[in-house]
Structure 1
Amino acid sequence: MKSLLKPSSTKRILFFVLADLLISLLTLFLAYSLRFNFEVDPKFFPSFWTVYAILASFKIAAMYFFKSYFIVWRFFSFEDIKNILKAHLVAYMAFTLLYLVDDSLFIPFSRSAFAIDFFLSFLMIATLRSGKRFVIGNDYVGNMKPTLIIGANTKTTGLIRSALDGEIAYYPVAVIAGQGEEGIIGSYINNIKVYDFKALEEVVHHRGIEAVIIASQLSQQQLKVFVDYLNGIGISEIKRVKLLENRDEKLEDLSIEDLLARHPKDLDTETIAAFIENKRVLITGAGGSIGSEIVRQCKHFGTSALALLDHSEYNLYQIGEEVPEAMLDMLSVTNRRLLDEKMQAFRPDIVIHAAAYKHVPLCEANKEAAVQNNVSGTKNVIDASIAAEVEKLVIISTDKAVRPTNVMGTTKRVTELYAQNVDSKQTEIVAVRFGNVLGSSGSVIPKFKQQIEMGGPVTVTHAEMTRYFMLIPEACQLVLQAAAIAKGGELFILDMGEPVKILDLARQMIRLYGKEDEVEIVFSGLRPGEKLYEELLIDETEKKTQYSSIFIAGKTDYAIDILEKDIEVLLNANDKVTALKKIVPEFEHKP
């Protein structure tokens, strides 16, 4: 019984057809009665059924052609009224042509009766379809926004179904075909027309679009052009369909990460899985932005055991909630004794060192802490890994280590030199260098978001400043991929794509929030140690690997006994900058 009462497209079409047949019967009789002052001639009845059959057939066919039988109550709009009017015009034009050919079929009807019938039929059929929309469903639809869907695929069908079921606060009124979907332009999905991408402007203006949902895979360039256009005409509510791990889908706001994300084409998940699967992995800095994502990736690729180290109680607790099977150790990498004890007890196959101080101005203001954590801490991890006979140690480095101008970048360069030149015995040591990751703690994107939400201003240090960006998950996968192919002693560099101007980034984020007229941008000047441009290479001696996204930098030789003495001097020096310059001559400090 419930299935009989449940709405469906077939039942809806059948209802409308039967209703139109009854309305046509009523309006035809009423039109004749009105024309002749309700004095019905007995001669009227023999021809009535002939006229009714012909006229009703024309109307049903025209209404079907103009998709008026596929209307959904709650989404009825002025566009649907226009289609009903078009259907009536076509039906009555066809009927008029037949009338002119042989009017004997229609005696005693007069042409004026047919004109009356036209208006009565149009008004009653349109009223029937609009009644529930404007009386019963008005409040419901009033809270929904006329929406354009980009992409004509199974996701689109699901979105329309969700709208019909009232699960999302949007009602689709048009669909734009995505890349590779050109073959269905002009067709309909649940009575919603599919348009060419070239018709975007026309559709937005004529259908009163207030929101857009992206259900198609657009190239980054297409997405940027598309978003710029929508923002330019005042549409800032842009959603995208995100696929969840359980294969379900959800709507979420389009983010700046979507516009900046660089998707490497040569991610080799099989190589990563072979590297991680059934291995015991210890991760330092496991609660940070990079460390926590590496934890997730290791879990995903089937590690047999995880040991997570972090000196932040809160960060360690957070990642521990995600991975309850992991062993949690709240310790600092500057404590060599505790580090040795953990290594000997856990006996990791792989160590991934992500613990570091990364905030440039804070490291400038706290040089002692930066050197102790980044240099002494990393040296401790390397030495402890060698002592524990770890198979492979992966050091996370940064593009700020290239021709550094700040303490943070220079400390990372010192650790690269130590990793490349230490006597590693059986342990394969590899360092991986990359640029900024989107949305990491302390990065510019969360800061801009907060400033925009507070009404501004957005602070940009310099109009010409650029940075490299990559998504955290993809950067971490490339780190693991590079480590998987390492033989030991390499310094890998990840291809970060083209650098992005921070000023353009700020403008784009403001547009995404629809606050171009509300939020201003101010320039605050370069902070201590900051560079206008970051680099990934010291020279042009890098080597290619089998992956286009991964390169190997040339090795810088440094006698290990001298390097160890220089590091010891650095750790005890009062003048950290001078001691750092001794190890890294290219360091040009910009306080």
Structure 2
Amino acid sequence: MVFNARVLSLAAFIFDVSAVVCTWIAAYLIRFNGPPPGPFAHGGVRAILWVTPLYAVMFRAFGLYRGMWVFASLPDLVRIAKAVVAGALLTTVVAAMLQPVPPIPRSVLMVGPILLFLVMGGARGFYRASKEFYRYGGLVSQGKPVLVIGAGEDGASLARELRRSPEWRLVGLLDDDVAKQGREIHGYTVLGAIGDLAQLAELHRVENVIIAMPNATAEVHRRVATLCVRAGVNAMVLPALTPMTQGLPFLTRVRQIDLEDLLGREAVSIDTPHVEALLTGRVVMVTGAGGSIGSELCRQILRFNPAQLIAYEISEFAMYKLIEETQERFAQIPVVPVVGDVKDSLLLDQVMQKYAPHIVYHAAAYKHVPMMEEINTWQAVRNNVLGTYRVARAAMRHHVDRFVMISTDKAVNPTNVMGASKRLAEMALQSLQQQTDATHFETVRFGNVLGSAGSVIPKFQQQIAKGGPVTVTHPEITRFFMTIPEAAQLVLQASSMGEGGEIFLLDMGQPVRIADLARDLIRLYGFRDDQIKIVYSGLRPGEKLYEELLADEETTRPTHHAKLRIARAREVPGNLLDELLPWLMQHRIPGDDEVRRELRKWVVEYAPAVTPVLTSIASTSTSNG
């Protein structure tokens, strides 16, 4: 690319220098109405030898070759004008100093620069116009061609606005309704079905598409967004109307599609009155408050105007960022920053005694599967199980009404230490629930969230930004995904519904193949498959191909919220904690194999993963796939 840019700059420089020679000769021809007399002809030729280098220096000095002809614009013309004027003035000064015989006609010194400016500026304008005509089928003033997907009322309104837009030139519309195909809307033809996008975009040289189906289902949006990405077009979407966008022009509401569109998640609606009754005017505590889920929980909780929010977090920096944000957005609500470990019983007692929270959301956990699988197994178990137990016991001692733990789909038939430790934490809460009716213990399970710390999406984005390759652990690996705000809202919803001892399951939709997700993300960023490769590194320790949300022995029952179900997990023995706590609080650090062996005693469904063998592994590097 650098080589091509240099070649193009050199070609432009050669053209401009040639233009100096040609316009100098043309100025002489105009001055003498034809070939000049012999002495003037020889004088003009001699002058070219010093006039041309002088202009060449001015062209370089004024930066005429920093831009590209295909994007030539008014600033480029201004630079050309400055360079030509400077060259003309210097030519006049040098001519006066040299006083050649015969002298250079004054008309040549005036006409030459004018002709030179017209040739240089005109050539650039012609080049850009021809490129735009070839690419877009029309001149620049006609706008970039665009297809609209959706020929309903919203698509028709968008077509009407596009007619008046100088930026866009509507080529036509697409719709799956056979009755609309071939018909005209505001003078624009419905060219075919949505599935014909790739062929029609290539036929009409269209690089931009607007999806105008704001009321379509999430599944339809996912299918259309995926078609756009895989057709290699720049896709935009007209979102559903909200109170904030009421009355705004359609074009101002259009936005670029993102990964959430490709995943096709339905918008979450929560039972606001029940959540308000739980949180408004109450003291709320969140552990792991600086993490991806914890910080979003804090944001969502603050929207319901609690009396006070106790943010408990071990990372000083994460706490600093959270407090900076909450002070800016929710200055009227007091947020108490407590930097501490969830295994610190003394600090937990002090905090709960002083602030008396009504509800505790326990989001603190070690969750990175490969990192917790080797070397850090004991730390994972202690933090995820003993930390949960100590926060829960403190909640019981200080008469907290509700305790909600954030769990994971990896706790179902776990194949890694992280998942097994989270399942054991669930079991510890089940056991504690048998000891009290005053505190209601609830667990909420969900899968991966988009953009959370250590998740696959930020890793892929970093790899794409570096030019690839994008590493996926296995071609068949799948995961459930949801957005961070969606997960946090459903956690709040579940916390308002629990009666004690439930394990709530969030509706995660359909599992997504990670390889397809990586490929779509590459295209979403404007790259082709041959520009950024996907390589497979093999499953990492403790990783399995398919995540589950429900264990084999469990059944579920629905709730009044469509996206929440309640799991009936197997019974936990009443003496579980009597046997578990001495192991968790022993004064030594057991080895990784011992930890896994002991975990299998407590979590009978835990079976360490057997890594499938890839027939061909293109890279030994790892990803969060």
Please say if 1:392 is aligned against 2:402.
yes
Please say if 1:320 is aligned against 2:320.
no
Please say if 1:219 is aligned against 2:209.
no
Asked whether the equivalents of residues 403 and 439 of structure 2 are also in contact (C-alpha less than 8 Å), the reply is yes
Counterparts of 2:440 and 2:265, CA distance in 1: 29
Alignment match of 2:370 (pick from 350, 355, 361): 361
Cα shift readout 1:533-555 (whole Å, capped 9, x = no counterpart): 11111224222323332222224
Asked whether the equivalents of residues 176 and 200 of structure 1 are also in contact (C-alpha less than 8 Å), the reply is no
| Equivalent in the alignment of 2:448 | 436
| Letter in structure 1 aligned against 2:221 | L
Counterparts of 2:379 and 2:255, CA distance in 1: 40
Please say if 1:460 is aligned against 2:469.
no
Counterparts of 1:163 and 1:355, CA distance in 2: 54
| Equivalent in the alignment of 1:269 | 272
Asked whether the equivalents of residues 308 and 328 of structure 1 are also in contact (C-alpha less than 8 Å), the reply is yes
Q: Structure 2 matches for 1:53-452, cutoff 5 A?
A: 141=140, 145-151=144-150, 170-174=167-171, 176=173, 186=183, 188=185, 197=193, 200=197, 204-205=201-202, 207-217=204-214, 218-235=216-233, 237-241=234-238, 246-247=244-245, 251-263=254-266, 267-324=270-327, 325=333, 326-365=335-374, 366-422=376-432, 423-452=435-464
Q: Structure 1 residues 580, 273: CA separation in 2 closer, same or farther (over 3 Å shift)?
A: same
| Equivalent in the alignment of 2:533 | 520
Q: Structure 1 residues 568, 240: CA separation in 2 closer, same or farther (over 3 Å shift)?
A: farther
Deviation at 1:453, TM superposition (A): 2.3
Asked whether the equivalents of residues 316 and 328 of structure 1 are also in contact (C-alpha less than 8 Å), the reply is yes
Deviation at 1:339, TM superposition (A): 1.6
Return the TM-score normalized by structure 2: 0.65
- For residue 485 of structure 1, give the secondary structure of its aligned residue in structure 2: coil
Please say if 1:500 is aligned against 2:497.
no
Counterparts of 1:163 and 1:323, CA distance in 2: 44
Counterparts of 1:162 and 1:310, CA distance in 2: 50
Counterparts of 2:398 and 2:555, CA distance in 1: 33
> Any gaps of 5 or more consecutive residues in structure 2?
1-127, 328-332, 611-625
| Equivalent in the alignment of 1:543 | 557
Asked whether the equivalents of residues 352 and 398 of structure 2 are also in contact (C-alpha less than 8 Å), the reply is yes
> Any gaps of 5 or more consecutive residues in structure 1?
1-132
Deviation at 1:182, TM superposition (A): 8.1
| Letter in structure 1 aligned against 2:580 | D
Asked whether the equivalents of residues 213 and 240 of structure 1 are also in contact (C-alpha less than 8 Å), the reply is yes
| Equivalent in the alignment of 2:28 | none
Counterparts of 2:390 and 2:142, CA distance in 1: 59
Q: Structure 2 matches for 1:510-589, cutoff 5 A?
A: 510-513=522-525, 514-538=527-551, 539-572=553-586, 574=590, 575-589=594-608
Asked whether the equivalents of residues 178 and 216 of structure 1 are also in contact (C-alpha less than 8 Å), the reply is no
| Letter in structure 1 aligned against 2:476 | E
Asked whether the equivalents of residues 333 and 373 of structure 1 are also in contact (C-alpha less than 8 Å), the reply is yes
Counterparts of 2:563 and 2:153, CA distance in 1: 31
- For residue 496 of structure 2, give the secondary structure of its aligned residue in structure 1: helix
- For residue 361 of structure 2, give the secondary structure of its aligned residue in structure 1: strand
Return the TM-score normalized by structure 1: 0.68
Counterparts of 2:179 and 2:282, CA distance in 1: 47
Asked whether the equivalents of residues 428 and 488 of structure 1 are also in contact (C-alpha less than 8 Å), the reply is yes
Counterparts of 1:403 and 1:487, CA distance in 2: 25
- For residue 468 of structure 2, give the secondary structure of its aligned residue in structure 1: coil
Asked whether the equivalents of residues 266 and 547 of structure 1 are also in contact (C-alpha less than 8 Å), the reply is no
| Equivalent in the alignment of 1:77 | none
Counterparts of 1:480 and 1:201, CA distance in 2: 42
Q: Structure 1 residues 206, 323: CA separation in 2 closer, same or farther (over 3 Å shift)?
A: same
Say how many residue pairs are matched. Answer: 453
Counterparts of 2:450 and 2:265, CA distance in 1: 10
Q: Structure 1 residues 225, 551: CA separation in 2 closer, same or farther (over 3 Å shift)?
A: closer
Counterparts of 1:371 and 1:401, CA distance in 2: 13
Asked whether the equivalents of residues 149 and 155 of structure 2 are also in contact (C-alpha less than 8 Å), the reply is no
RMSD, matched Cα? 3.5
Counterparts of 1:174 and 1:153, CA distance in 2: 18
| Letter in structure 1 aligned against 2:570 | T
Q: Structure 1 residues 356, 526: CA separation in 2 closer, same or farther (over 3 Å shift)?
A: same
Deviation at 1:385, TM superposition (A): 1.0
